[in-house]
């Protein structure tokens, strides 16, 4: 894993500039650094290396192709690069003299011998890269299919800048790009900023599965559009005519593709392990790792002293059954709250998925033992794991029986009791307590007053604010569209749940889940790998019909079936809880002073971005216990904390 950055634009002191840019992301690659400059064309490339494959100097970057035509900086891992080497050797008219065994050398050689787009179509892995073609004066930026690795690019005056993180771009001289109010609206709607937008005007995220090229001989056109080299919607469309009809065959081929993916991703020249939460996905990854390992797999989990949020015992039970080399750390409030103060620095644009905190803490603990960790991310989106997939159709089937005017009245009445009251009721009368029961009742009451179709309900379940424009100054009268199936070419899917899963794979997965893990892990120089997102697994999962993925309000049926061969059902079969901590309660207690300093009227008003009135009302309702506004407040707090952090960084 590494960090990449660079720019095109003739400047005085280009070496000092690129050095400052790549040092800003040294945490992504502390093992070595390097740069390459073409002063005539005004091109500079910078790299920070976390050595994983080929630890020798043969893996150093920036790296040149055999003929010296191409120069590359690369962040990621290509798992099938030895297969590509073999193919190149067979097809090449002359012997290839390899200097080492790094995947970077495989990439740059393949670019030269068969072409950039042709190579991108062949590789299996996670990556963000920049390659400069000296012959054509052409810069190509590319990002992996599912967005495991980040890549920002954009313009500062007449210069093109890019980098793994915004931290490096902000080090470019005279950085002065304004905050995008459109991006702010998106942020409050989802608690993350969806690609291709970033928090800054004229700075963008390269979308997953896309590349973009800039030819300096034609001028650095700011209107240049990225293009896909791979399309998930096309994978789904092709799979519709090739669906599995046999459950047994579907499970068998899915297990084979997962096992193949894990074998390829468990190769490294440094210590390797896996996150283990005790849930279905991470347990299956670990089970298949252990199956093919001669030694116990190193597994890692954290827990919290608050038993309502502690999943460590479940992970320990799975680890004991699989006989892994298990590492566990139980954390208190102080550990989590100290981590909260680091979030604005780690997430270099506003980001407000509160599971970012335990994700950072487990990454920090894991890095003390290994350099690479496999995770179970991706299973929920591909195979129907979220509660909103499994429960929404049944909920809507009942709701639609109530006429909309009456439904609005019922929804309003559900909001008349506080979340605390509902929580007390849940603890007293529900046999299996539902986490955050009161908050969920309030969310349902709110949605009953607004949504009037299953499609509307599915889309609304993915949002935090239903009217984010009201919060952003100057945007109150603007209309704002949700993600839609049509906008992603998913109209061919006739099931609302299938559409919701596909939309999440294209949006929530890369811009929330994978972003969360990448920034948390790279902050401590830990490489994470995601076997569920191997192209073979994705294509196999796409062929499994929805009714084989979700049944009797349970999702991920194929993964459950495969896992049952390795882990007893009773160790796994429990309600999905997520990776959460009691942020809402802490905001009323130990985090209250911190929160109030950020939500102070003067602090809000001085930047001129937000309307203070709805924030004040929400905060008072939350601290009184009348409502639980945790997700909305967390978004505002993360924005305010980020603004303070970046203002001091730029100064």
In whole angstroms, what is the distance from residue 289 CA to residue 277 CA?
Answer: 15
Write the DSSP symbol of residue 139.
E
Write the DSSP symbol of residue 99.
S
SS3 content of the chain, % helix, strand, coil (to 5): 50, 15, 35
In whole angstroms, what is the distance from residue 569 CA to residue 586 CA?
Answer: 34
> Known catalytic residue: 458?
no
User: Strand 227-228 and strand 125-133: pairing?
Assistant: unpaired
**In Å, how far are 151, 202, 446, 583 from 177, measured between CA atoms?**
18, 7, 37, 32
Catalytic residue among 2, 78, 88, 485: 2
Q: What are phi and psi of 194, to 5 degrees?
A: -70, 145
Contacts of 9 (CB under 8 A, 6+ apart): 42, 156, 157, 158, 159, 160, 161, 220
In whole angstroms, what is the distance from residue 645 CA to residue 624 CA?
Answer: 29
Question: 603-636: b or e for each residue (b if 16 or more CB lie within 10 Å)?
Answer: ebeeeebbbbeebeebbebbbebbbbbbbbbbbb
Residue of 550, 591, 541, 163 whose CA lies nearest to 343: 591
Write the DSSP symbol of residue 308.
G
Long-range contacts, 448-451 (Cβ 8 Å, 24+): 448/399, 448/407, 448/408, 448/410, 448/411, 448/414, 449/407, 449/408, 449/411, 449/412
Point out the residues that are catalytic. 2
């Amino acid at each position: 894993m590494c960090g990449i950055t660079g720019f095109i634009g003739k400047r005085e002191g280009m070496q000092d500039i690129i050095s400052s840019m790549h040092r800003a992301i040294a945490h992504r690659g502390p093992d070595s650094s390097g740069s390459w400059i073409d002063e005539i064309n005004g091109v500079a490339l910078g790299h920070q290396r976390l050595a994983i494959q080929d630890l020798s100097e043969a893996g150093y970057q920036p790296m040149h192709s055999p003929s010296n035509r191409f120069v590359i900086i690369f962040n990621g891992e290509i798992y099938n690069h030895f297969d590509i080497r073999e193919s190149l050797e067979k097809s090449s008219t002359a012997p290839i003299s390899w200097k080492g065994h790094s995947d970077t050398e495989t990439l740059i050689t393949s670019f030269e011998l068969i072409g950039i787009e042709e190579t991108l179509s062949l590789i299996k892995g996670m990556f963000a890269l920049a390659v400069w073609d000296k012959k054509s004066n052409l810069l190509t930026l590319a990002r992996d299919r599912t967005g495991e690795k980040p890549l920002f690019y954009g313009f500062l005056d007449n210069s093109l800048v890019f980098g793994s993180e915004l931290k490096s771009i902000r080090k470019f001289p005279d950085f002065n790009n304004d905050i995008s109010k459109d991006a702010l609206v998106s942020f409050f709607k989802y608690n993350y900023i969806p690609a291709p937008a970033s928090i800054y005007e004229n700075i963008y995220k390269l979308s997953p599965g896309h590349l973009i090229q800039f030819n300096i001989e034609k001028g650095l056109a700011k209107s240049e559009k990225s293009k896909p080299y791979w399309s998930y919607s096309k994978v789904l469309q092709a799979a519709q005519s090739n669906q599995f009809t046999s459950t047994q065959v579907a499970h068998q081929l899915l297990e084979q593709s997962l096992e193949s993916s894990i074998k390829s991703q468990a190769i490294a020249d440094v210590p390797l392990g896996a996150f283990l939460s005790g849930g279905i996905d991470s347990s299956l990854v670990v089970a298949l790792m252990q199956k093919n390992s001669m030694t116990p797999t190193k597994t890692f989990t954290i827990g919290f002293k608050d038993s309502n949020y502690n999943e460590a015992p479940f992970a320990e039970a799975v680890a004991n059954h699989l006989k892994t080399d298990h590492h566990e750390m139980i954390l208190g409030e102080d550990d989590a709250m100290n981590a909260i103060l680091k979030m604005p620095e780690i997430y270099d644009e506003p980001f407000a998925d509160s599971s970012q905190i335990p994700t950072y803490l487990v990454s920090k603990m894991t890095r003390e033992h290994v350099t690479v960790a496999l995770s179970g991310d991706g299973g929920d989106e591909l195979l129907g794991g979220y509660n909103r997939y499994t429960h929404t159709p049944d909920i809507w089937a009942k709701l639609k029986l109530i006429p909309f005017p009456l439904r609005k009245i019922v929804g309003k009445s559900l909001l008349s009791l506080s979340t605390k009251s509902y929580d007390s009721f849940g603890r007293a009368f529900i046999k299996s307590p539902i986490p955050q029961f009161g908050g969920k009742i309030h969310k349902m009451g709110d949605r009953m007053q607004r949504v009037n179709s299953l499609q509307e309900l599915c889309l609304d379940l993915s949002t935090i604010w239903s009217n984010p424009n009201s919060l952003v100054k100057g945007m109150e009268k603007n209309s704002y569209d949700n993600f839609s199936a049509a906008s992603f070419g998913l109209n061919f899917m006739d099931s609302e749940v299938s559409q919701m899963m596909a939309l999440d794979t294209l949006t929530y997965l890369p811009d929330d889940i994978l972003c969360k893990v990448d920034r948390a892990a790279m902050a401590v120089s830990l490489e994470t790998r995601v076997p569920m997102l191997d192209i073979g697994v994705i294509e196999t999962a796409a062929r499994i019909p929805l009714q084989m993925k979700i049944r009797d309000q349970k999702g991920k049926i194929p993964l459950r079936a495969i896992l049952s061969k390795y882990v007893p059902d009773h160790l796994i079969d429990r309600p999905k809880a997520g990776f959460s901590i009691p942020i809402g309660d802490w905001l009323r207690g130990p985090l209250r002073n911190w929160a109030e300093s950020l939500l102070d009227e003067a602090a809000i008003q001085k930047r001129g971005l937000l309307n203070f009135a709805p924030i004040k009302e929400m905060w008072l309702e939350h601290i009184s216990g009348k409502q639980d506004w945790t997700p909305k407040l967390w978004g505002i707090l993360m924005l305010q904390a980020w603004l303070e952090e970046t203002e001091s960084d730029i100064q």
